[in-house]
Chains A and B, each alone.
Chain A
């Protein structure tokens, strides 16, 4: 169970607004977060991952406190065991597809399975600049899964995929998320996207 109760100031075009979230995420659940641009969706994911800190609140995962502003507890990103799919992929230009996964895990069998899952097994020696947008996005997802995270945070993960690829990947991804029991939070700007696939929704105004 992941419990989040935070307050975080957001820089907005018209002054400042505050992001307030008080929510629990059941183990293995898939939650979609959607809302307009600037509503704090990406910031919310960064707060959970520890890449930025809220002004106030607590974040707990499976009984472990990741963040507590009162008790001054702030677990580093490295220790939170999360997977993060960045909106602009954030792939490493110096690494090939395989090296991205080897950087994250030493489990060769797992790497092989991930490559097959993302249909990137024939492109494993390619660097990101030689991959299409969809292939880069798939690699970003595979890299996030490579560490077998307990919590997967995805920022607009399917935006560059064509409908056919998206359907195939989502189906396989759901299987693997359920198999590993990964709690997943997916940010999307499209209210219709992923409908029927997620267990819960969180709307940012």
Chain B
């Protein structure tokens, strides 16, 4: 059995989750503070992957980053970077596609904290960033864990968007979900079953781990 799709999937999910943690958590904080029309628009845009068919998102990413047009052409000519049919492209698509799964739970948890926690910190002379780091983040640990696991697990299961932008190149863009589809197409049900079972097991263990870590009090990773 060729395990490269599994390793590639884990690598993609790890990088995507790491990048989204660094970018998505401060972004969720920004969204959680105050309300403006601009923030509503931004939030709507990052929520779109939840409701859009993955193939639609993949199609637009394919158009946007095609080396023959616009941004994709500029990136290719200026930095020699190509997002279409490459692992970088999968990472980019995954970050966009999984962003609501990182931002949503973190933003919601931050909004549920009493405003007086941050206010108390400000009266002690602490900056918003110090307050975020020392007071707000440590008090939403269960939601942070839920967001990380949800993002990782969701990336493991991506299909439409990665197929559109990455295709099916063995060792480069052929992740486990595509390998399952490929195996079924070839009537190789044994391989499809092996890949499926591994994906199912990893996801199940992750979800169980969240519940154990949060001592059965975690918010359901399913929302």
Q: Which A residues form the contact surface with B (CB < 8 A)? A: 49, 51, 76-79, 81-84, 86, 88, 90-94, 103-104, 143-144, 146-147
* Chain B residue with Cβ nearest A87: B116
A79 to B119, alpha carbons, bound, how many Å?
Answer: 13
CB of A92 within 8 A of CB of B125, answer no
Indicate with 1 or 0, residue by residue over B113-146, a CB within 8 angstroms of chain A CB atoms: 0101101111111110000001100110000000
Q: How far, in angstroms, from A77 to B118 measured CA to CA in the complex? A: 11
Assess the B124–A92 pair: CB atoms within 8 A. Answer: no
| Interface-centre pick from A86, A90, A143 (highest chain B CB count, 10 A) | A90
Query: Which 6 pairs between the two chains have the least Cβ-Cβ distance?
Result: A90-B116, A94-B138, A90-B120, A84-B123, A77-B122, A104-B124
A94 interface neighbour in B114, B122, B126, B135, Cβ under 8 Å: B135
The contact size tier of chain B is 10 to 19
Residue of A nearest to B141 (CB): A94
Least Cβ–Cβ distance between B142 and chain A, in angstroms: 12
Bound Cα distance A90, B115 (Å): 9
Using CB atoms and an 8 Å cutoff, list the residues of chain B in contact with chain A.
Answer: 114, 116-117, 119-127, 134-135, 138-139
Alpha-carbon gap, A75 to B214, bound state (A):
41
Query: Contact at B139–A86, with CB atoms within 8 Å?
Result: no
The CA-CA distance from A90 to B121 in the complex, in Å, is 9
B119 touches A86 (CB 8 A): yes
Q: Which of A79, A88, A93, A146 contacts B124 (CB 8 A)?
A: A146
Inter-chain contacts of A86 with B (CB < 8 A) = 116, 119-120
List chain B residues, Cβ under 8 A from A92.
Answer: 117, 120-121, 135, 139
Asked if B120 contacts A78 (CB within 8 A), the reply is no
Q: Which residue of B lies closest to A140 (CB)?
A: B120
Complex contacts, A84 vs chain B, CB 8 Å = 119-120, 123
Chain A residues near B126: list those with CB within 8 A: 78, 103
Chain A residues closer than 8 Å to B135, beta-carbon distance = 92, 94
Among B114, B120, B122, which residue has the most Cβ atoms of chain A within 10 A?
B120
A77 touches which of B114, B116, B123, B139 (Cβ 8 Å): B123
Among B116, B124, B126, B135, chain A packs the most CB atoms within 10 A around the CB of B124
B114, B119, B134, B139, most chain A CB atoms within 10 A: B119
